[in-house]
Structure 1
Amino acid sequence: MILRTGAALLALVAATPALAQTPTQAELAELVRAQAAEIAALRARLDRIEGQQALAAAPAPASAPAQTPPPQVAQAAPPQVRRTVPFAPQLVPPGPADRDVAQATAARDNPSGVTTEWGAGLPVFHSADGVYTFKPRGRILADVSSTFGSRSDTRNLTTTGMRALRLGLEGGVGAHFFYQMEADFSENEVDVVTAFMGWRNRIAPGIDYDVRAGHLFNDRSFEGSTGSDSTPFLERTTVATAIIPQRGFYGIGIMPRLFWKTGHASLTVTGDRVDGTQAVSDGRTVLGRAHWNPVKTDDTVMHVGIWGFDESLSSAATTLTRNTVIGGRFNGALRVSTGTLLGGTGTTGYGVELGGYRGPLWVMGEAGRRNARLDGGRSDFVSKAWSLSGGFFITGDLPPYNPRLGSFGQPKVKRPTFDGGPGAIELTGRYESLDYTDLVTGGEGWAGTLGVNWYLNSFTRVQVNAIHWDTDNRSGAVTGADSGETVSARVAVTF
């Protein structure tokens, strides 16, 4: 852009020889204004590409050591002040549907022709006037799992599976309207997952909101709110998989969310997930979550969260039977089971989250409880689960924590392998417990997991988990105490 301005100046000089000697102040001022405008547009484009337009000004780089001043003018160095950050620079830039209103406004107000923004696997397209934004989306998660050591051969299985195989799109119109849709093909069937439209705006400086309507992903628990392509382990914790509404992770409804500098809160009201059943009324689920970062600096964050839900079940969905993953998703015989449980009328669940990170080390603890209401005056069925997880990036990268949403996202790898670097390498560990023994037929179990994640770049990673599991089921094909090991691996691409 600066070269174009210089070319314009040379053309003006060539066209007007007298100007080469004595340009007028008005002509010089016009050239300066044009150059300043192009520089501003260039900066805006770079900000959008790097996702840094919302960052506070970084400290100036250190200059060469200055000479020691004379004793009579020497002054004490000012105390160092930690700079707080409004969002995590270690995350990839958000797509059109996940941007806040400031980021969306910047993209709209700085048009520079039709542009293509590359940042996380696939491009973001911007119209010439900056009004329309569009991005294709996709997710490929391929797993292999092998279980051994069980006393029952029915559990000693080696299997493969697609954890996710998604295609979708997202976009926006102006600074306020946005949309997103994805379909999953992982079970060789088309399954609509995320599908919504929304509106975002600013209430006051530092306070934003958005409202989404459509087929919505739950905002519930730390890992329950983290996408399957961003979880630090191959499977979410037992809190996320067991303390959950009967309809699962999705439902059709509305979700207003409020964001401030140190946290967010959401309220979701939905019916059932996408289905073809309209002969009876849907169930109803009301779900709320809030998180707060009481400590938030460049390299340290503390996370506190709370959530809860209440659901009234449809007359067509009164079965509360659960068979919950404990040693890997792709072994259908390895589950903690409630046994057959019919006649449910509703459930209420709640949980807490506490954790954070300091430099490359992160820790997160979660606990939850779910009460299932039964008809005929029977006692409620109670599910309990808790987990403690942690990780450490030996390459020095910061954990991909998203303080806007209180969940994990995709990391912005400092030294990608495709640029000759090592990528980001993370060591992880987790202990989790699940208890269904409030039922006569209910089981219990626990698992300890060690893992390693290798992020080749911001959208490609390899994961390996080694799990020792222990179950004690009172019903099903394998009853009584049993234990063993599962080794699982995943290759994942998200774009």
Structure 2
Amino acid sequence: MARDPDPGNEAMMLFRSGCAIAALICATPALAQTPSQAELAELVRAQAAEIAALRTRLDRLEGARVAASQPAPAPAPVTPPVVMAQTPSQTGGNVTSPFAPQLVPPGPAERDVAQARQANAAGVTTEWGAGLPVFHSADGIYTFKPRGRILTDVSSTFGSDYAARNITTTGMRALRLGLEGGVGTHFFYQFESDFSENEVDIVTAFIGWRNRIAPGIDYDVRAGHLFNDRGFEGSTGSDSTPFMERTVVSTAIIPQRGFYGVGIMPRLFWKTGHASLTVTGDRIDGNQSGNDSRTVLARAHWNPIKTANSVLHLGAWGFDEGLAAGATTLTRNTVIGGRFNGALRVSSGALTGGTGTTGYGLELGGYVGPVWLMGEAGQRHARLDAGRPDFVSKAWSLSGGWFVTGDLPPYNPRLGSFGQPRVLRPIFEGGPGAIELTARYENLDYSDLLTGGQGWAATLGANWYLNSFTRFQFNVVHWNTDNRAGAFVGPDDGQTVMTRIAVTF
């Protein structure tokens, strides 16, 4: 290939051309001695035209040489497409994913090792999940997602023999704001605060580490302010429960410290179940003037049947709690017909002198297609001082639901609990959303104490999921209580109607 002339050679050519013209004039006697004005003018015009053409070419070559010496401009950045993990229903394979395809993709703090590695390797910058995006750094190392939930309730009770129980109230079941994220494949974190009831309450707050032991066997370890892994509905978040309030098994067979405690929780996951062990002190309270109570809690669940549209769930859990010297009051007043009616409770009566508690429970249920069923039962033994016998609390429940729109129940086989559903036909895309009809019976018995009451409730409900993070709930509860102490003694029954608007992101 011929090379372009060097700009320096072009300049030399221009100089030589001028010299040649001058020499021609000098070497032609007639032209040198007696040139006419017209001839001289024509000669000058020809020389000027040649010089102008050579200068133009010289400028063009000089510009090309300067451009070649500069670094090439960087190509325009190209944003890669968002890469989401395929579900078994998308790939046509067997159900091997730890998360069911009817669940929304898990956030950074709930992914397994393979999902975290895939998200990092994808190099995505934004991944839209439920309500809010998951952000990834350009190098794929850092992951971040805002979190929140808004649960707004209205409750009305009527039919009670006590006028003080027949009230209508409103409340925020949850008003949370938080974040979660990860660094690399293994490290993750989560933090949430709740602002309901005009108070700021730290709820979930932990850091964690996850890894893979062998194909199909993972683990993670969390440390911080931890939510209990206890029972089916007791392990389900308030934004994912199929009813507006958890069962009495979850709310009564519980450590004295409640649903949260500061400590550590290692968890082991395999293809058909999981197991966890939790060791905690008290929940966050800002009181460091004495010892914390100590709680050890364990749970395991197993799915002996797990197909594309059916699951059998078996679970067991238990805890043991040693109470600190300042936490000896064991009085219980447990919700039976709605959270926002403070007069509607099953009461144990005043109980002091506790030294510790031990509780345990069983879970049995599952789903086939759009129909699910779950039974739970548990007992709690409260140890008392001065040689008094234990106070035994007993509770059980039977719950079920049917998605009339054909959606699968939002069962999470990795954790053995309910999660956020992936709605097949959201109303924002022209579909009907997901419509679920529910029913439950629950029974609570504190009558082992002379001052202890008992009660039961039957609930009919409907849930309308507009999409994966927005839903309306409606519950009608027929309740019955028989308290032996407090302001509402003796048999009483009535009805409570409740509704909720919920947004989770």
- Shorter-chain TM-score bucket reads 0.7 to 0.9
Please say if residues 140 and 166 of structure 1, whose CA atoms lie closer than 8 Å, have aligned partners that are also in contact: yes
Aligned position for 1:105? 117
| 1:314 correspondence with 2:324 | yes
Aligned position for 2:158? 148
Q: Structure 2 stretches of 5 or more lacking a match?
A: 1-77
Please say if residues 99 and 412 of structure 2, whose CA atoms lie closer than 8 Å, have aligned partners that are also in contact: yes
Change (3 A) 1:83 1:226: closer
| 1:162 correspondence with 2:172 | yes
Segments of 4+ in structure 1 off by > 3 A? Answer: 54-57, 82-86
Question: Residues 409-445 of structure 1: CA distance to partner in whole angstroms, max 9, x if unpaired?
Answer: 0000000011110000000000000000000000000
Please say if residues 470 and 482 of structure 1, whose CA atoms lie closer than 8 Å, have aligned partners that are also in contact: yes
SS of 2:91's equivalent? coil
Distance 1:382 1:109 in 2: 53
Aligned position for 1:58? 91
Amino acid at match of 1:96: P
| 1:46 correspondence with 2:79 | no
Q: Cα distance, 1:83 vs. partner?
A: 5.5
| 1:210 correspondence with 2:213 | no
Aligned position for 1:461? 471
Aligned position for 1:277? 287
Q: Describe how 1:435-474 pairs up with structure 2 within 5 A.
A: 435-474=445-484
Q: Describe how 1:241-320 pairs up with structure 2 within 5 A.
A: 241-320=251-330
Amino acid at match of 2:258: G
Change (3 A) 1:437 1:144: same
Q: Cα distance, 1:87 vs. partner?
A: 2.5
Q: Structure 1 stretches of 5 or more lacking a match?
A: 1-37, 61-81
Please say if residues 85 and 296 of structure 1, whose CA atoms lie closer than 8 Å, have aligned partners that are also in contact: no
Aligned position for 1:71? none
Q: Describe how 1:13-92 pairs up with structure 2 within 5 A.
A: 42=81, 45-47=82-84, 51-52=85-86, 55=88, 58-59=91-92, 86-92=98-104
Please say if residues 427 and 452 of structure 1, whose CA atoms lie closer than 8 Å, have aligned partners that are also in contact: yes
Q: Describe how 1:188-199 pairs up with structure 2 within 5 A.
A: 188-199=198-209
Please say if residues 423 and 454 of structure 1, whose CA atoms lie closer than 8 Å, have aligned partners that are also in contact: yes
Change (3 A) 1:83 1:249: closer
Amino acid at match of 2:246: R
Distance 1:127 1:84 in 2: 29
Distance 1:173 1:84 in 2: 26
SS of 1:154's equivalent? helix
| 1:175 correspondence with 2:188 | no
SS of 2:150's equivalent? strand
Amino acid at match of 1:229: D
Question: Residues 379-415 of structure 1: CA distance to partner in whole angstroms, max 9, x if unpaired?
Answer: 1000000000000000000000000000000000000
Distance 1:417 1:442 in 2: 48
SS of 1:105's equivalent? helix
Aligned position for 2:377? 367
Question: Residues 131-158 of structure 1: CA distance to partner in whole angstroms, max 9, x if unpaired?
Answer: 0000010000000000000000010010
Please say if residues 466 and 487 of structure 1, whose CA atoms lie closer than 8 Å, have aligned partners that are also in contact: yes
Please say if residues 84 and 298 of structure 1, whose CA atoms lie closer than 8 Å, have aligned partners that are also in contact: no
Amino acid at match of 1:100: D
Please say if residues 84 and 296 of structure 1, whose CA atoms lie closer than 8 Å, have aligned partners that are also in contact: no
Aligned position for 2:71? none
Distance 2:183 2:486 in 1: 52
Distance 2:194 2:156 in 1: 24
Distance 2:92 2:236 in 1: 32
Distance 1:360 1:381 in 2: 40
Distance 1:397 1:166 in 2: 28
Q: Cα distance, 1:109 vs. partner?
A: 1.8
Aligned position for 1:26? none
Distance 1:175 1:300 in 2: 31
Q: Cα distance, 1:107 vs. partner?
A: 1.1
Change (3 A) 1:196 1:86: closer
SS of 2:263's equivalent? strand
Change (3 A) 1:86 1:216: closer
Question: Residues 138-187 of structure 1: CA distance to partner in whole angstroms, max 9, x if unpaired?
Answer: 00000000000000001001000000000000000000000000000001
Q: Cα distance, 1:85 vs. partner?
A: 5.2
Change (3 A) 1:435 1:487: same
Distance 1:122 1:421 in 2: 21
Please say if residues 89 and 101 of structure 2, whose CA atoms lie closer than 8 Å, have aligned partners that are also in contact: no
Aligned position for 1:481? 491
Please say if residues 471 and 501 of structure 2, whose CA atoms lie closer than 8 Å, have aligned partners that are also in contact: yes
Distance 1:118 1:56 in 2: 20
Change (3 A) 1:446 1:274: same
Aligned position for 2:430? 420
Aligned position for 1:391? 401
Amino acid at match of 2:120: R
Distance 2:401 2:439 in 1: 6
TM-score for the superposition, normalised by structure 1: 0.85
Q: Cα distance, 1:58 vs. partner?
A: 2.8
More helix by share: 2
Distance 1:185 1:214 in 2: 20
Q: Cα distance, 1:118 vs. partner?
A: 1.1
SS of 1:418's equivalent? helix
Q: Cα distance, 1:276 vs. partner?
A: 1.4
Amino acid at match of 1:469: W
Q: Describe how 1:330-369 pairs up with structure 2 within 5 A.
A: 330-369=340-379
The root-mean-square deviation of aligned C-alpha atoms, in Å, is 1.4
Distance 1:415 1:310 in 2: 45
Change (3 A) 1:83 1:275: closer
Amino acid at match of 2:305: V
**Identity score, percent:** 77
Amino acid at match of 2:99: F
TM-score for the superposition, normalised by structure 2: 0.83
SS of 1:187's equivalent? helix
Please say if residues 85 and 297 of structure 1, whose CA atoms lie closer than 8 Å, have aligned partners that are also in contact: no
